[in-house]
Every structure is written in structure tokens, then in C-alpha cells.
Structure 1
Amino acid sequence: MTTPTGAAIIKTLVSRYGEIPNMKVNKIGYGAGTKTFPTHPNVLRIMLGEGN
């Protein structure tokens, strides 16, 4: 589930989607939305890193 803005950002920044690649993680960012869902958390995690 995402917003149209979130989908546009992902489309612009991501070349492919899958498992987390083997990389050296340099930074991790977390964000939390304000909407409450009954079955899952409303959070986002982004990792910035360099490939091995």
C-alpha cells in the first residue's frame, strides 16, 4: 500500500525490486505514518549503502 507520491518516488529511484542486496549499509532511515491499520504497522525503512 502506498500513496501516489510514494509510488512516484519509488519509480524514480528504484531500478528493480527484490530481496535486500548484499551491501555495506551506510545509513538507515525510518518514518511512521499517522494512519492506523488493524493488521500491519504504518512504517517505512530506507537503507542507503554500497554494493559489495
Structure 2
Amino acid sequence: MRIVSLLPSATEIVCQLGLGERLVGVSHECDYPPEVRNLPSVTDSKIPSDAPSGEIDR
């Protein structure tokens, strides 16, 4: 599973859960832990915010 985090708090949680190696992108606001600073930075999701959860996995 690949993870892109758009919230700094979510990025920290993912890393604390030991899943940091699955992060493939973070928000431009994410700067902790320091190793996420080298990941590609994104600012918005291409998935419409009103999309049903079933559409997200397609």
C-alpha cells in the first residue's frame, strides 16, 4: 500500500505506526519527522472531496 498524507498530523501518526516507508508523498506543510522532507510534496488530491469511499480505491 502506498500512502500520501495531506495533513501533518496524519504524517506523524503514519510514521509513529512504523509505516513511514509506505509514504510516497506528503503535504507541503509536512516537515516532521525530518525524513519526510525528502518526499514529493503535494498540495491537493485529484479525488473529488465529495466522492464516495468506493470511488477512492478505483
Q: Do these two structures clear the TM 0.5 threshold for a shared fold by scoring above it?
A: no
Structure 1 or 2, whichever has the larger Rg, is 1
Structure scoring higher RCO (CA < 8 A, sep ≥ 6) equals 1
For normalisation by structure 1, the TM-score amounts to 0.30
Structure with greater proportional helix content: 2
For normalisation by structure 2, the TM-score amounts to 0.28
Structure with greater proportional strand content: 1
